[in-house]
Amino acid sequence: MLRYRHVIRLLQRRSYSSGAANSGSPGGDKSGEEDSHPIRRTLRLLGNDMRKVKEFFVPKDPEPEQERIPTQSKFKFTGERERDPTLADDFQTHCDVLIIGGGAVGSSIAYWLKEKARDGLNVVVVEKDDTYAQSATRVSVGGLCQQFSLPENIQMSLFAAEFLRGANQHFGQDVPLHFTPHGHLMLAGEEHAESLMRSSQLQNEFGARNELLTADRLEARFPWLNTKGIVLGCLGLEKEGWFNPLALLSNLRRSASGYGGHFVSGRVVDFEFVPQTDISVVGHAGSNEANYTGLNKAVIQLPDGTLRTCKFALCVIAAGTNSGQVARLARIGVGPGMLRIPLPIDARKRYMYAISSQAQSAPGMTMPMTMDPSGIFIRRDGLGGNYICGQDSTEESHGQEVDSQYFDQHIRPKLAERVPSLGEAQLVDSWAGSYDQNVYNENGIIGPHPYYHNLYIATGFSGHGVQQSLAVGRAVSELIMDGQFRTIDLSRLSFDRLIVDQPMYELNNVLS
């Protein structure tokens, strides 16, 4: 009996001490034993419930900025009508920035502006064809490389590589840009070997990584390559490859919309002007300085044919091959004085072919995007003996129709010379598209128009526009919001070089 009392006392002491621990500290019930005292048990359960209620209502400390992972949900689009159902439609009659052209360049400008300014700027993009059937961005093959001779072009492509690497941070998770990292190989004969060498040095100084290979080393490395007439090759070692341009475009559009940007289906068919006596243009020969007339509104033709106007504070022309015509609506190229100088953009056609070969000696996985001095380029496409090759037209040429003779007449002979195992390759598919060629000096034109106080230009990327679109968008957003370039200084690519006649030639005008 004594023994039993002792055991009961022991149990009581233990349950008392466990109850005391529970009431004193939330984590006190470490023993896992149940407290059988009804009042203490009720109090403990109530305490737990109160703690849960408190956790629910009292906000936790915010997570540090760098730990926040962006998700798709932050880009949920809410148009004006969704925000305010009383509005008749989403059409913006006024805006801060009107962007003409919603291809990679226009959408990138909208993305960067909205990403920085959010509700601080009303940004409207007018795109005449939401299917992008004729847009260069849609037919582009998304090549990315740094093998340029101008620091600006090298830096823009380096930025694209950096951006694409961190695309999830910018666009949200699961971004299917399908970036395939792979070096580009630019080949040069006697005539261009020295400039290839100089450019390679410059590219590496700016942070690109590529190596020069003599003809012997090229042959050893790429046994499928015929080095006849080749003196040197420059092979990209990192930050190069190709990606899906349409996926980039849709991510830029979706993100810009998610931040509150407006994409309007319609074609800009005219501008309305307004005399502004408070502005005088100095050095504008042939016109009265007191008679400045500024751009005020864009006239937009909607898909149903109706015309509406949108008044803007600033306008950006990013209309690809159509930029010269849009500029003419603003009297650029047809007005007096400095307005006499046109925006020198033409359409230039690029022919693309998909070919296939199962030849034993055909290039395999290690084949880089190879650019031949003859003007043709070729890269593998996937893993099954498929390749993409092509060539640019050298004359102004529009449209997307492919000349069926062109491959056999102009490309196959050059291909057979450089990669003999592909001389008999089967032609599987073909397509063509036109890009925005700057016929003055084959480089982008970025920045303010020297006459108009409220007009910016971003076009003429001459076959490199998709990879440059990210840096161009950021640069134009800097000009608009900060009044100057903050990251890459692109001032040498301004329209002013046309006025002072200082062309900026890209020596390695690569087919990327």
Ligand X SMILES: Cc1cc2nc3c(=O)[nH]c(=O)nc-3n(C[C@H](O)[C@H](O)[C@H](O)COP(=O)(O)OP(=O)(O)OC[C@H]3O[C@@H](n4cnc5c(N)ncnc54)[C@H](O)[C@@H]3O)c2cc1C
**Residues that bind ligand X in the complex, under the rule CB under 6 A:** 100-106, 126-129, 132, 135-137, 139-143, 267-268, 318-322, 326, 350, 352, 433-436, 459, 461, 463-467, 512
Residue 134: strand, helix, or coil = coil
Chain centroid to CA 155: how far? 14
Residue number, 106 or 233, with CB nearest to ligand X: 106
Nearest approach, Cβ of residue 348 and ligand X (Å): 8
Nearer to ligand X, 344 or 433 (CB): 433
Dihedral angle over CA of 222, 411, 402, 444, nearest 10: 70
Q: Rounded to the nearest whole angstrom, what is the least distance from the CB of residue 465 to ligand X in the complex?
A: 2
Say if strands 262-265 and 184-188 run parallel, antiparallel, or are unpaired: unpaired
* CB count in 10 Å sphere of residue 428: 13
Residue number with CB closer to ligand X (120 or 399): 399
- Residues with Cβ within 8 Å of residue 22, at least 6 apart in sequence: 28, 29, 35, 40, 44
Nearest to 292 by CA among 278, 305, 302: 278
User: What is the secondary structure of 463-506 as a DSSP string?
Assistant: T-HHHHHHHHHHHHHHHHHHSS-SSS--GGGSTHHHHTT-----
Q: CB-wise, 292 or 407, nearer to ligand X?
A: 407
DSSP 212-234: EEEHHHHHHH-TT---TT--EEE
When the beta carbons of 126 and 196 are compared against ligand X, the nearer one is 126
* Least Å from the CB of residue 249 to ligand X: 8
Residue 60 per-residue DSSP state: P
What does the alpha-carbon distance between residue 451 and residue 485 come to, in Å, rounded to a whole number? 19
CA proximity to 262, closest of 131, 114, 115 = 114
Q: How far is the CB of 392 from ligand X (least distance, A)?
A: 9
Smallest gap from residue 187 Cβ to ligand X (A): 17
Neighbours of 48 (CB within 10 A): 12
Residue number with CB closer to ligand X (124 or 281): 124
Smallest distance from ligand X to CB 104, Å: 4
* CB of residue 143 to ligand X, shortest distance in Å: 3
CB nearer to ligand X: pick between 176 and 399: 399
